[in-house]
Structure 1
Amino acid sequence: MAVYHCSLCRRTSFTGRRHLYSAAHRRRLQEALGRLEEEVAAARAAMDGAAVRRYDPAEHERRVWCLCCGRGVRRDGRSGALALPHAGLLQHLAGAEHRRETARFWRENRADAALRERFVVAAEEYARFAAALEKAVGAHEEREEENIRQMAARIREAERRQRDTVRAALEPSTETERCAAPPGCSSAAGPARDASGCAELPGPSMMRTGPNLSWMESGQALTFIGHQETEGRGNVHTGAKPPWLTEEDEEDGSKQQIGPSYEEFLKQKEKQKLKKLPAERVGANFDHTSQTGDSWLPSFGRVWNHGRRWQSRHQFRAESGGKKKKR
C-alpha cells in the first residue's frame, strides 16, 4: 500500500496519490486558491493607477502568503519615506521563480490548468506598472519640493515683516526735543549756550526715546490701582534701604510675642495626654474646686505604716478625739 503526504491538507494518506482526487483535498485546494486570488486581483487592480503614499509601518508591513512558493511575500514596496501599494506582490508574481513554483504546485496538486494564469503576472505588464510607478514617485517628489519652497517663502516673508516691525519701533522720534528748563536754556543758543542754565536737564533715562505709545490713547491702557504709599517710609525706587537691610529699632520695646507661651504649651500637652486615657476611670470626673474640711477622710482609711489598713481609720478618730466607744 502506497503512502503519500499532502502538504496542503497536512496529512498522510495511505491510498497514495489518489488522495489528490478526493473531495476533501479539492475543497481545501479551492479555499486556499480563493484567498490567494483575492490578493492577486487587488494587486492587478492597482496596476491601472499607480499611486504612492506616505510610509506607515503598521499598514505597509503586511505580508501575503504565497501558496505556490510556500512563503510570505511583502505586499507593498518602499522608496525612502514613500510606500508603493501592491508593488512588492506584483514584483513577486512577475518573477521567474514564482512562475516555476506555480507550475510545480499545479502539477503536484492536480489543479485546473486554466486557472494558473490568474496567479502570475506577465513581465511586460509589470514593466509598464514599474514605469508608471516611477513617474508617480517623481511627481510626488516635485510636489514635495514645491511645498518646501512655498513654505520657505512664507517663513522669509514672516521674518521680513517682523524685522520691519522691530525697526519701526526702534526708530527715534522725528520731533525735536526742546529743553523744559528756564528761558536761559533755549535751543537757539547752539553749542555756545550756558551750561549753568541747563543744570536741571533730565537724566539719560528720561532723554531716551521709547517705542510708540499711541495704543494708550485708544483706551487700551493698563488698569490704575492707585499710588502705593507707605507711612513715612521710602522704597527702593526712591533710594531707601530695602526691608531686609533695615535694622530693627531698639526703642520700640520688647518684641511682640507670637503664638502661645511655653507654659500654655505644656498645659495643652497635658490635656492631650488625658484625652487618651479611658473616660470611665476612677477620679476622671472629680471636682477639684470643691471645699473639704479637716475631718474629711476617705472611706477606706488613711495612710498607714504598720498594722492593718482598717485600723488607720480608728487611729485617725482617736487622734481627733472623736472615737466612739465600742458596743
Structure 2
Amino acid sequence: MVVQLSAARGSSKAAGGASVKPRPQPRSRLNRGSSPRRPAAMAVYRCSLCRRTFFTGRRHLYSTAHRRRLQEALGRLEEEVAAARAALDGAAVRRYDPAEHERRVWCLCCGRGVRRDGRSGALALPHAGLLQHLAGAEHRRETVRFWRENRADAALRERFVVPAEEYERFAAALRKAVGAHEEREEENIRQMAARIREAERRQRDTVRAALEPPAETERCVGPPGCSSAVGSARDTSGCAELPGPSVMQAGPDLSWMESGQALTFIGHQETEGKGNVHTGAKPPWLTDEEEEDGSKQQIGPSYEEFLKQMEKQKLKKLPAERVGANFDHTSQTGDSWLPSFGRVWNHGRRWQSRHQFRAESGGKKKKR
C-alpha cells in the first residue's frame, strides 16, 4: 500500500502536480465483523412421551432414547389391540363382574384411558369398549397427529386402527349374542316357574286330601285280600283306597258281613293312648302342640337364666387376678366374719381401734 501510494504521488507530481485519491480496497470476509460469530439459540421442546423438557429442539425425536421409549409404548398398546382384534371373529357375552370387567386400557395416541369391555345390563361384552374406541373418527385423527409429532413409522399406523366396517359386523354379531342369551335366560325362568307351580299343586292336593271328610261309601277294613272273599259289589266299593290318612273308627264295622258266608271276624286291634297312621290317627304334622299337651311347654331358657348368663359373660371380660374374683356370693355369712382385731373406724389410728375392740370384748391379753 505504501509503495503504491508513493508511486501514485510520484506520477501525480510528474503529471503536473494534480492530486489523485487512492482507491479503497475491499475488506476481507474474515475481518468484516469486529466480534466473533455467535451460534443461534435452540428452541425448548417438551416431549410428552418421555415426560421431559429438552433444549435441543425437535432433534430429540431422532435420539436413541426417544425411539426406544416409543417402541416400548407402542408394543404395550399393540398387545391390547391384537387381543381386541381377535374378538372380532367371535362375539361373546359373560356375566358382569366388576373386578374383571372394569379394567381400562391407556390409549397412547389419545392420551386417556378407555374401558376395555362393554356392558349391557347384567352382561359384560368383552373387548367391545376398546373396539368401539379404535373404530372412532377421533381416535383416527389422534393417531395421525401422534405419528406426525413423534416421527413414528407410518407403516405401523394401520395396526392401531380398526375399520368401521369390521366394527359394524362385530356390533351386529354382538346384538345377536345378547338376544340369544336373553332368550336362554327367559327359557330357564319359565322352566323354574313351571317346576314351582307343579310343586305347589302337589302340596295343595296333599293338604286337600288330608283335610277333606271321609267318603260315605263303605270301605274294606279287612286284610288286603278281602276282595277275593267277598262279592263283586264289595270289590268296587269296599277295597278302594282313598288318598290321605284314614279316619279312626269307633268300633268294628260288621255291616259288610253277609249272611251265608263262612267268615271269621278277628276284630280290630286297638292300642291304648295315641294311635298312629296305621290305626287312622291324625298325622303328627297336622296335630297342634296344644292338642298334644294341655300346658304349653316353654322352649329354650327362661328370662332369669338368660340374665344370669349375661352376667357371667360380663364377668369373663374382667381380669382373673382381681380382688374378689373367687368370692362365692351365694354363701351365708354371719356377723363374726370380720377379724377379731378389726372394725370400721372413723377417727384415730388403726391400732387404737384394735385395742378398743379388745377392751370391749374383755379378751385383752395380760402382760407377762
2:250 alignment partner, one of 209, 214, 239: 209
What is the deviation of 1:83?
0.9
Residues 22 and 230 of structure 1: CA distance in aligned 2, closer, same or farther (over 3 Å): same
TM-score, normalized by length of structure 1?
Answer: 0.56
1:95 aligned onto 2:136:
yes
Q: Per-residue CA shift, 1:272-294, capped at 9, x if unaligned? A: 99999999999999999999999
**Which one is further off, 163-172 or 27-36?**
163-172
**Which one is further off, 308-317 or 162-171?**
308-317
TM-score, normalized by length of structure 2?
Answer: 0.50
Residues 307 and 244 of structure 1: CA distance in aligned 2, closer, same or farther (over 3 Å): farther
Q: Per-residue CA shift, 1:91-137, capped at 9, x if unaligned? A: 00000000000000000000010100000000000000000001001
The answer to whether the 8 Å contact 1:52/1:82 transfers is yes
**Which one is further off, 119-128 or 242-251?**
242-251
Q: Per-residue CA shift, 1:185-235, capped at 9, x if unaligned? A: 999999999999999999999999999999999999999999999999999
Residues 48 and 30 of structure 1: CA distance in aligned 2, closer, same or farther (over 3 Å): same
Q: Per-residue CA shift, 1:29-50, capped at 9, x if unaligned? A: 0110011001100100111100
The answer to whether the 8 Å contact 2:131/2:162 transfers is yes
CA distance in 2, matches of 1:83, 1:269: 51
- Secondary structure at 1:78 match in 2: strand
Residues 157 and 319 of structure 1: CA distance in aligned 2, closer, same or farther (over 3 Å): closer
What is the deviation of 1:66?
0.2
**Which one is further off, 105-114 or 297-306?**
297-306
The answer to whether the 8 Å contact 2:118/2:126 transfers is yes
**Which one is further off, 115-124 or 214-223?**
214-223
CA distance in 2, matches of 1:29, 1:218: 114
Residues 230 and 159 of structure 1: CA distance in aligned 2, closer, same or farther (over 3 Å): closer
- Secondary structure at 2:124 match in 1: strand
CA distance in 1, matches of 2:123, 2:271: 71
Residues 16 and 182 of structure 1: CA distance in aligned 2, closer, same or farther (over 3 Å): closer
The answer to whether the 8 Å contact 1:215/1:221 transfers is no
CA distance in 1, matches of 2:51, 2:298: 95
What is the deviation of 1:170?
1.8
What is the deviation of 1:14?
1.2
1:120 alignment partner, one of 152, 158, 161: 161
What is the deviation of 1:172?
2.4
**Which one is further off, 166-175 or 226-235?**
226-235
Q: Per-residue CA shift, 1:39-67, capped at 9, x if unaligned? A: 10010011110011111111111110000
CA distance in 1, matches of 2:122, 2:304: 80
The answer to whether the 8 Å contact 2:209/2:244 transfers is no
1:315 aligned onto 2:336:
no
Residues 173 and 47 of structure 1: CA distance in aligned 2, closer, same or farther (over 3 Å): same
CA distance in 1, matches of 2:212, 2:279: 31
- Structure 2: gaps of 5 or more residues: 1-41
The answer to whether the 8 Å contact 2:218/2:238 transfers is no
Q: Per-residue CA shift, 1:281-327, capped at 9, x if unaligned? A: 99999999999999999999999999999999999999999999999
The answer to whether the 8 Å contact 1:181/1:197 transfers is no
**Which one is further off, 121-130 or 56-65?**
56-65
Q: Point out 4+ residue stretches in structure 1 off by more than 2 angstroms.
A: 171-327
What is the deviation of 1:174?
3.3
1:41 aligned onto 2:86:
no
- Secondary structure at 1:143 match in 2: helix
The number of residue pairs the alignment matches comes to 327
The answer to whether the 8 Å contact 2:245/2:282 transfers is no
- Secondary structure at 2:65 match in 1: helix
The answer to whether the 8 Å contact 2:104/2:113 transfers is yes
Residues 31 and 221 of structure 1: CA distance in aligned 2, closer, same or farther (over 3 Å): farther
CA distance in 2, matches of 1:138, 1:52: 10
Residues 231 and 269 of structure 1: CA distance in aligned 2, closer, same or farther (over 3 Å): farther
Residues 27 and 237 of structure 1: CA distance in aligned 2, closer, same or farther (over 3 Å): closer
- Secondary structure at 1:290 match in 2: coil
Aligned partner of 1:155 in structure 2 is 196
What is the deviation of 1:2?
2.0
What is the deviation of 1:11?
0.7
Residues 88 and 276 of structure 1: CA distance in aligned 2, closer, same or farther (over 3 Å): closer
The answer to whether the 8 Å contact 2:210/2:244 transfers is no
What is the deviation of 1:157?
0.7
1:231 aligned onto 2:244:
no
What CA RMSD, in Å, does the superposition of the two structures yield over aligned residues? 13.9
CA distance in 2, matches of 1:266, 1:45: 68
The answer to whether the 8 Å contact 1:170/1:211 transfers is no
Select the structure of larger CA radius of gyration.
Answer: 2
Residues 145 and 184 of structure 1: CA distance in aligned 2, closer, same or farther (over 3 Å): closer
Identity %: 93
